């Protein structure tokens, strides 16, 4: 019997795939029909009154529309059904596929032979449980798992990073965006595997950079400007003003096991002396400051606990000690020192 498909003028834009198995003949084609009888008629295939049709291995009504594609139509010709050999034992089998069951009798030795005898093919990556090479199961249950795959193209952003550089155009202790950042973009090819319509695996097969990210560039200021201000009624000339956390100490309030009257520079612990963390002290030793509410001071000591934030420790004698624990604007007075820590953190 020959197979032929005819093109019509008014067809839907996306034809569907159908595989027709008629004995030893297998044809895969595209069709816009959804009713099995119409698909077979379009293919030029006629049925006798005793013939039957399986849809994906399950008996189907010839007039019922097909809900899902791709599909396989298996023709079971009445004249081709072989009478079982009388002396061969027959086993009752229940075949489950896509939630439907089919009862058959088989005298074959393996699952694959029984499925072939029933006219229920395993198409593509389909598999059975037990597998088709195994003997017929003792409980008579065979499950067919229909396997399909799809490919998804997905975009994935590449976050940009930030880069911090010096900038002589930015004022000291300020930060400006010199170049805005831009996320990059990759294109992923993802293969998705479905078994009986349920997703069971998702694998990224390929990932291509479509657009590389552009780093954000931040400039921290190194531009120094000398300014004047009146603070606490005092006119001062300064080159830096920074919010700093201030604590206080005195010879017998330094947290040690005894009273310490001397500083790291050799000066006496008294009002007008300021302590800083060790690396700041090395760079700023001797730096004159003005602290509102405290007055003029000079960096003369090391404060071991002044870490984690811009922090200084102001000194008093034991007789005039005043407790401090607050944030205050500290003015760094002229002249500008040779060694400058541009980022205080």
Instruction: Report which of 147, 126, 132, 129 is spatially closest to residue 200, judged by C-alpha positions.
Output: 147
Residue 29 scores a pLDDT above 80: no
In terms of pLDDT, which residue wins out, 193 or 255?
193
Q: Is 40's pLDDT higher than 80?
A: yes
Handedness of CA 121, 125, 128, 130 (dihedral sign): positive
Q: Is 267 left (phi over 0), alpha (psi -120 to 50) or beta?
A: beta
Residue 221 corresponds to which tokens in the numbers above? 């200021």
Query: How sure is the predictor about 182, in pLDDT bands with cuts at 50, 70 and 90?
Result: very high
Cβ contacts of 60-66, under 8 Å, gap ≥ 24: 60/36, 61/36, 62/35, 62/36, 62/37, 63/35, 63/36, 63/37, 64/35, 64/36, 65/34, 65/35, 66/34, 66/35, 66/36
- Structure confidence at residue 79 (pLDDT): 65
Whether the Cβ atoms of residue 62 and residue 80 lie closer than 8 Å to each other: no
pLDDT of 183 higher than 50 = yes
User: Torsions phi, psi of 138, nearest 5?
Assistant: -65, -35
pLDDT digits (tens, 9 = 90+) for 52-95: 888 777 787 888 888 777 778 888 887 655 544 454 678 899 99
Contacts of 161 by beta carbon, 8 Å cutoff, 6+ apart: 181, 213, 215, 216
pLDDT surpasses 60 at 10: no
The answer to whether the CB of 35 falls within 8 A of the CB of 64 is: yes
Sign of the alpha-carbon torsion through 270, 276, 279, 281: negative
Average pLDDT of the residues of the chain: 88
Beta bridge partners of 95: 102, 142
> SS3 for 308?
coil
**pLDDT on residue 157:** 95
Q: What is the pTM of this model?
A: 0.54
Distance in angstroms between the alpha carbons of the first and the last residue of the chain: 88
Q: State pLDDT tens for residues 117-150.
A: 888 888 889 999 999 999 999 999 999 999 999 9
Judged against a pLDDT cut of 60, whether residue 7 lies above it is answered with no
What is the predicted pLDDT for the residue at 69?
A: 72
Domains of the chain, first to last: 16-79 (3.10.20.30), 82-145 (3.10.20), 149-221 (2.20.230.10), 224-333 (2.40.40)
Residue 115, SS3 per DSSP? helix
């Amino acid at each position: 019997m020959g197979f032929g498909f005819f093109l019509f003028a008014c067809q839907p834009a996306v034809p569907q795939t159908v595989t027709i198995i008629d004995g030893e003949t297998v044809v895969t084609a595209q069709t816009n029909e959804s009713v099995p009888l119409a698909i077979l008629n379009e293919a030029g295939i006629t049925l006798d009154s005793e013939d039957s049709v399986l849809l994906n291995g399950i008996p189907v009504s010839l007039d019922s529309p097909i809900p899902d594609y791709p599909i396989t139509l298996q023709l079971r010709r009445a004249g081709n059904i072989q009478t079982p050999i009388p002396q061969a034992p027959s086993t009752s089998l229940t075949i489950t596929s896509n939630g439907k069951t089919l009862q058959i009798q088989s005298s074959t030795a393996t699952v694959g032979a029984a499925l072939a005898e029933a006219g229920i093919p395993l198409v593509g990556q389909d598999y059975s449980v037990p597998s088709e090479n195994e003997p017929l199961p003792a409980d008579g249950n065979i499950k067919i798992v229909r396997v399909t795959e799809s490919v998804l193209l997905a975009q994935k952003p590449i976050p940009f990073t930030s880069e911090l550089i010096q900038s002589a155009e930015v004022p000291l202790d300020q930060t400006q965006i010199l170049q805005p950042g831009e996320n990059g973009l990759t294109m992923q090819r993802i293969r998705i595997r479905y078994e009986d319509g349920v997703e069971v695996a998702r694998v990224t097969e390929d990932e291509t950079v479509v657009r590389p990210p552009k780093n954000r560039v931040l400039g921290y200021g190194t531009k120094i400007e000398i300014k004047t201000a009146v603070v606490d009624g005092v006119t001062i000339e300064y080159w830096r003003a920074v919010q700093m956390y201030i604590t206080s100490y005195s010879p017998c309030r330094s947290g040690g096991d005894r009273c310490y009257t001397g500083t790291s520079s050799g000066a006496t612990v008294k009002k007008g002396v300021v302590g800083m963390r060790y690396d700041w002290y090395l760079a700023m030793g001797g730096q004159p400051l003005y602290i509102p509410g405290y007055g003029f001071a000079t960096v003369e000591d090391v404060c071991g606990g002044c870490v984690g934030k811009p922090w200084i420790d102001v000194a008093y004698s034991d007789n005039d000690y005043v407790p401090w624990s607050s944030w205050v604007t500290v003015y760094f007075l002229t002249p500008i020192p040779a060694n400058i820590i541009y980022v205080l953190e």
